Amino acid sequence: MRTLIFLLLISLQSLFLFSQQTQKPPLHGKQWMAITGKPLAATAGSMIFQRGGNAVDAACAMLGATCTMWDVLSWGGETQALIYNPKTGKVIGINALGVAPTGATAEYYKSKGYNFPPQYGPLAAITPGTVGGLCLMLANYGTMSLKEVLAPSMQLAAGYPIDAQTANSMERGKQRIKEWPYSKKVFLPHLGEKREAPEAGEIFVQKDLLETLTKMVEAEQAALKKGKNRKEAIMAAYDRFYKGDIAAEFVRGCQEQGGLITMNDLANWKPIEEEPMHVNYKGIEVYKLQQWTQGPMLLQSLNILENFDLKNMGYNSTRYIHTLYQTMNMTFADRDFYYGDPAFPPSEPMQGLLSKAYAKQRARQISMERNMANIGPGDPYPFEGKTNPFVDVLKKRGYSLDTTSNQNRNFAPAHDIRNEAVANNPAVELDSEYMERLWAGTTSVEAADAEGWVVSITPSGGWLPATIAGNTGIGMSQRGQSFVLDAALNPFNVIEPGKRPRVTLTPTMALKDGKPFLSFAVQGGDTQEQNLLQFFLNIVEFGMTVQEACEAANINTNQLWLSLGGSKNEDRQPRAGSILLHSNTPEWVRKELRQMGYTLSFDDRTSGPINAIWFDWKHNSFWGGSSNHGEDYGIGW
């Protein structure tokens, strides 16, 4: 009887938490849907749709607009995308992540006293990828010219009324911005005044960036006049950026400020089309990019969670939260040790990591009684018929690969804890700098059209305060900080020239019955995959609408190695048992979680920001969801 009453309370709690009216209305459309991180950028996507473009054209326009508006990224950053091609019924991966430049070795950074590549400045830069990714997507799958797709970005660069969030970010970061002459010229138009950055609503002009975009369009148009086809003309603009006068100025400005990028680094880099990874969760095929992102972590999590009856646990019940937390801790531990650039040895054990048998083994290791502070990487190698070559490394870090126990010890390995205080008390307060590194934002782009094209993008890099490369108007990426210098932390992700770092950026797509089911992405550093996993389960397990799922209360684990920020190991080390909950979490859930060894923190928004499209095949329409957290915005028709 007591169990029945408890289940009834959980069901009522679940019903109450996600049956309330959403703070934003869901979007509806029949012809197209455009959603991204800035209202003006969503408008850019709608402009392209109204001119006859497809979802790839619109997504490229939104990508360009968000970069131009410095929506926590710029044109010098990186682009990661999934595209559903209705002509083939296949999901395509776009890898437009830059690489470490010439001279960027672990020894070089160690010689400068770094434990990780720096968080800011020219030495954080990898080669720019977004321009190449946009050109590749547009050339291969779009229908419009670069001139047409870049028109909104060029209008914005000529001058747009800047929003308060971006303007205030420039003002907050102005001391660092003043270290870089080209950044100072762009971001601080009122130098010497009390407020040196633009005011909200002020027309923000970027002459250098406009010139760069104009040069690219000029190259395209000149190629068309010479008889080149649309694709060849777009790639002529690509060549001018990576091999021509734009590249020369970018490299000059980078090296003048102490950066390492060379002309050869730009010329030799190329965006890659790749086969995405995917798993089947209860009849739904879920697609992620490869292990140079954290994407497979979500796939691993779904494989583990398939072994539990989540629906009967109840949405955000103690048991559900605990199961999610333990699962994510396991998959983050695997991510932190086994993921890296597949183009470089050693070869990542992805077959084993994504096997259902490995997931069953990991599920059996979960203690349902307490948080496992010492959970570490598993051993996927036997699941692909191999022996783990890193057993000694893991043993030195204090991890056991014994699969017969749940490893539920009362300490965390010395190599993997913040400091002695954390070992004895996971309740060490999470400082604001740590939370900023955990949540480090980007943006997302979602687009779909009636023809069947679907695009999900998570671009990033070159965020404020950015180092602008010479007179290009382009902020350099800071993604080099996601490499490690110590092979004991991750033997697959040690920085080398020409290598891509393992990034947090992770668009998602799901198909059901061979047709698009969901397209979704989120910003937020190491919380991205956490929020996307729960968003997906909110729809599939708990029947939420796409907008309800975007706004629903999630949890976040801090028991992971941070991917961004901090100059010392202790800045990035896991906070064992630390969990973020929504502020409306019931007191009995809080009490039970504390009894299980968790340290709780709270916020009134824990859901994103998530942007998503759900495909309503019953009515042949789109449902769009856009986060109630931040400036994310969508338009449908």
Q: Identify whether the C-beta of residue 574 lies closer than 8 Å to the C-beta of residue 417.
A: yes
Distance CA 474, CA 98 (A): 14
- Report whether 58 contacts 81 (CB < 8 A): no
pLDDT at 434: 62
Structural domains of the chain sorted by starting position, each given as residue range(s) with its CATH number in brackets: 37-274+440-544 (no CATH), 290-437+552-603 (1.10.246.130)
Model confidence pLDDT, tens digit, residues 209-255 = 999 999 999 999 999 999 999 999 999 999 999 999 999 999 999 99
Q: What was the pLDDT predicted at 427?
A: 42
Does position 295 have pLDDT exceeding 70, yes or no? yes
Q: How confident is the model at residue 11 (pLDDT cuts 50, 70, 90)?
A: very low
DSSP β-bridge partners for residue 475: 468
Per-residue pLDDT of 445-467, as tens digits, reads: 999 999 999 999 999 999 999 99
Nearest CA among 130, 135, 133, 211 for reference residue 472: 211
List % helix, strand, coil for the chain (3-state, nearest 5): 40, 15, 45
Q: Which of 203, 515, 196, 559 has its CA nearest to residue 372?
A: 559
pTM strictly above 0.85: yes
Q: What is the mean pLDDT of the segment spanning 562-571?
A: 89
pLDDT of amino acid 408: 39
Average pLDDT over residues 592-599: 97
Encode pLDDT of 346-379 as tens digits: 999 999 999 999 999 999 999 999 999 989 999 9
> 8 exposed, middle or buried (CB, 10 Å; 0-12, 13-18, 19+)?
exposed
Q: What is the band of 575 on the pLDDT scale with cuts at 50, 70, 90? A: very high
What pLDDT does residue 438 have? Answer: 52
Quote the CA–CA distance of 117 and 97 in Å, as a whole number: 17
Average pLDDT over all residues of the chain: 92
Res. 42: pLDDT tops 60: yes
Torsions phi, psi of 369, nearest 5?
A: -105, -40
Of 528, 552, 545, 328, nearest to 444 by C-alpha is 528
Residues 6+ apart with CB under 8 A from 357: 383
The pLDDT of residue 412: 38
- The verdict on whether omega for the bond into residue 609 sits within 30 degrees of 0, i.e. cis, is yes
Cα angle: 189, vertex 192, 196; to 5 degrees = 45
Question: What's the mean pLDDT in 92-113?
Answer: 97
pLDDT reported for residue 429: 52
Cite the DSSP H helix spans in 397-464.
420-424, 432-439
Sorted by sequence, the CB contacts under 8 Å of residue 203 that are 6+ apart come out as 159, 160, 161, 162
Q: What pLDDT score was predicted for residue 17?
A: 46
Percent of the chain predicted with pLDDT > 70: 91
- Residue, of 423 and 183, whose pLDDT is higher: 183
pLDDT at 622: 97
**pLDDT tens figures, 409-449:** 333 344 444 433 343 444 445 566 665 555 556 789 999 99
User: DSSP secondary structure string, 55-74?
Assistant: HHHHHHHHHHHHHHTTSS--
